[in-house]
């Protein structure tokens, strides 16, 4: 059942692994398409603003040049200047003098003919008078825009400010005054209310009414340029991006799915590999020295299990122990650890009963009914005393209070020492610890590393030491790497320590060699 669930979960993750990158590719295609069409629309809106600003600037310059002729606005010299302005301008079609709604003289017909302009469409806050859709008898088929400042006005082609995007006639364009909200010049569907979306910004892009809309504010005049690109441009561009990105996403998804399947296969294969390693005797032990802080003498070691694959690869316990704990394999592994301890250290423990071996015990071991029998059989085979063995169990292995009390009590009555391992990382309360029969408390390396750093956890080690002292437990500090840490722990009353300061995990033969060297050195010093 469990394997079926794992298979189903793996298939689900693999499917998500394929589909996820494809969906992300489609989403990215849409995002890139909107970004591209936003830039497309902004380009047109900016061009409209540029054309509108240049037109307004030319009209303002023309009015300024004609101002000296205000007393005789239709004199020959004034009309000649109007014609010069007309010919020298890129946006102005004609310029003339206006009274009321009539142009009395102009660069087109001089003073020979009066041109009717009609009522203004609106007057801006800056004093500009704008007339839109003006028609003249000599060119009735064209609509003109008349922009007036004071008594002078310029005649402009109505479409000139928006004379862009000719290759895309379905793109809508407009120049809209901010104080009127009706287009001065427009092509296609333009909602003047779009200009309100600008707020205080200089530019805005949004999607509305089936268009990608760009609004750009003029920096010189009270107008905005608007460009609206139909959504089918966005859809076409999205499809173009998708045509490039989706295959990449598909390849990435397939690669991810293959990786998930491979890892799942590896994970499913690991339990079998661990069981196979037990049969093939691929596990071995390394031993890390435990020293008495006051004397510096090695008083014991902790047995650490390692796995050497047939390829020579060393697998650390962080990988295979959780796998073994998922079923009864951990119990078999602990039995094999006991056999290895017997093989490696039995001859020494038999003659050195004050030396101890720390053995890590899993929750399943601690709660196994035949665990005590297996321990006693191992001791009998080694010829060692129970006091030579310290059983190290983590806090999570002691969570069942009834079983924990019964088992710890039974083991201690038979002479075995019990240590609670990695203390401070689990969930034990002080009252819970008081109910157990323990001998040692091992302080986790994470608290030792914090000593002297000023980190919040640097204060925790003091509290742990106080708890152990109150409970009458001896202490072993793990992960000691500096002399300063060792001296601090000694001052605080910690009896034992292990860590790289005293030695890395090694073979038991190397442990014995180091003890012999230490004894020889002590003898030379004493002599």
Closest CA to 301 of 360, 361, 379, 357: 357
In angstroms, the CA 399 to CA 428 distance is 8
Q: What domains are defined for the chain?
A: 2-232 (no CATH), 281-526 (3.20.20.450)
Question: What is the crossing angle of helices 231-280 and 317-324, to 10°?
Answer: 80
* Alpha carbon distance 23, 18 (integer Å): 9
118: which residues sit within 8 A by CB, 6+ positions away?
A: 101, 131, 134
The pairing of beta strand 172-177 with beta strand 185-187: antiparallel
Strand 203-208 with 211-217, pairing: antiparallel
Percentage of the chain surpassing pLDDT 90? 29
Q: Give the residue with greater pLDDT, 430 vs 470.
A: 470
Per-residue pLDDT tens digits for 259-318:
555 555 555 467 778 888 889 999 999 999 999 999 999 999 999 999 998 888 898 888
Residues 6+ apart with CB under 8 A from 109: 115
Residue 166 has a pLDDT of 61
Average per-residue pLDDT for the chain: 81
What would the pLDDT profile of 327-364 be if each residue is shown by its tens digit?
A: 678 889 999 999 999 999 988 988 898 999 999 988 78
Average pLDDT of the residues in 214-238: 76
* Pairwise pLDDT comparison (14 vs 468), residue with the higher score: 468
Tell me the three state secondary structure of residue 226. strand
Chain mean position to CA 75 = 75
Segment (H or E) for 23: helix 2-66
Predicted pLDDT at 189: 84
Please report, for residues 26, 172, 185, 273, the alpha-carbon distance to residue 188 in angstroms, rounded to integers and kept in the order given: 31, 4, 10, 72
Between CA 510 and CA 15 the distance in angstroms is 52
CA 459 to chain centroid, in Å, comes to: 32
Mean pLDDT of all residues in 152-179: 80
pTM of the model: 0.53
- H or E segment and range at residue 133: strand 129-136
């Amino acid at each position: 059942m469990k394997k079926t669930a794992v298979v189903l979960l793996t298939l689900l993750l693999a499917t998500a692994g394929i589909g996820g990158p494809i969906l992300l590719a489609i989403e990215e295609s849409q995002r890139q398409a909107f970004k591209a069409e936003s830039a497309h629309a902004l380009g047109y809106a900016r061009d409209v603003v540029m054309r509108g600003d240049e037109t307004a600037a030319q009209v303002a310059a023309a009015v300024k040049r004609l101002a000296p002729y205000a007393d005789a606005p239709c004199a020959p010299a004034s009309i000649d200047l109007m014609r010069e302005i007309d010919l020298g301008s890129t946006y102005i079609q004609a310029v003339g003098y206006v009274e009321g709604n009539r142009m009395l003289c102009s660069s087109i017909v001089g003073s020979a003919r009066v041109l009717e302009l009609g009522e203004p469409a609106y007057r801006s806050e800056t004093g500009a008078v704008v007339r839109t859709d003006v028609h003249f008898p000599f060119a009735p088929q064209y609509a003109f825009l008349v922009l007036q400042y004071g008594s002078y006005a310029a005649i402009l082609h109505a479409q000139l400010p928006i004379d862009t995007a000719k290759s895309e006639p379905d793109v809508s364009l407009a120049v809209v005054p901010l104080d009127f909200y009706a287009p001065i010049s427009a092509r296609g569907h333009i909602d003047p209310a779009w200009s309100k979306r600008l707020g205080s910004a200089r530019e805005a892009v949004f999607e509305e009414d089936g268009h990608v809309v760009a609004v750009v504010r003029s920096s010189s005049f009270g107008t905005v340029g608007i460009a609206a690109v139909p959504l089918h441009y966005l859809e076409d561009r999205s499809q173009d991006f998708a045509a490039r990105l989706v295959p990449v996403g598909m390849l990435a998804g397939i690669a991810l799915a293959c990786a998930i399947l491979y890892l799942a296969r590896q994970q499913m294969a690991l339990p079998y590999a661990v069981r196979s390693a037990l049969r093939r005797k691929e596990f071995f032990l390394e031993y890390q020295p435990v020293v008495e802080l006051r004397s510096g003498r090695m008083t014991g070691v902790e047995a650490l299990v390692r796995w050497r694959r047939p390829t020579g690869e060393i697998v650390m316990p962080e990988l295979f122990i959780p796998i073994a704990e998922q079923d009864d394999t951990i119990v078999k592994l602990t039995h094999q650890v006991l056999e290895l301890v017997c093989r490696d250290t039995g001859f020494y423990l038999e003659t050195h009963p004050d030396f101890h071996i720390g053995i890590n015990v899993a929750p399943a071991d601690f709660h196994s009914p035949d665990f005590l029998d297996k321990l006693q059989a191992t001791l009998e085979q080694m010829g060692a005393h129970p006091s030579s063995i310290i059983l190290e169990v983590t806090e999570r292995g002691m969570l069942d209070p009834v079983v924990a009390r019964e088992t710890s009590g039974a083991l201690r009555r038979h002479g075995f020492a019990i240590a609670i391992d990695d203390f401070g990382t689990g969930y034990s309360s002080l009252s819970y610890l008081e109910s157990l029969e323990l001998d040692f408390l091992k302080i986790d390396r994470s608290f030792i590393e914090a000593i002297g750093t000023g980190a919040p956890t640097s204060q925790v080690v003091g509290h742990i030491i106080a708890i152990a002292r109150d409970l009458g437990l001896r202490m072993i500090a793990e992960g000691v790497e500096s002399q300063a840490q060792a001296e601090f722990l000694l001052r605080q009353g910690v009896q034992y320590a292990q860590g790289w300061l005293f030695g890395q995990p090694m073979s038991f033969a190397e442990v014995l060699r180091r003890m012999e060297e230490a004894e020889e050195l002590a003898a030379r010093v004493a002599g």
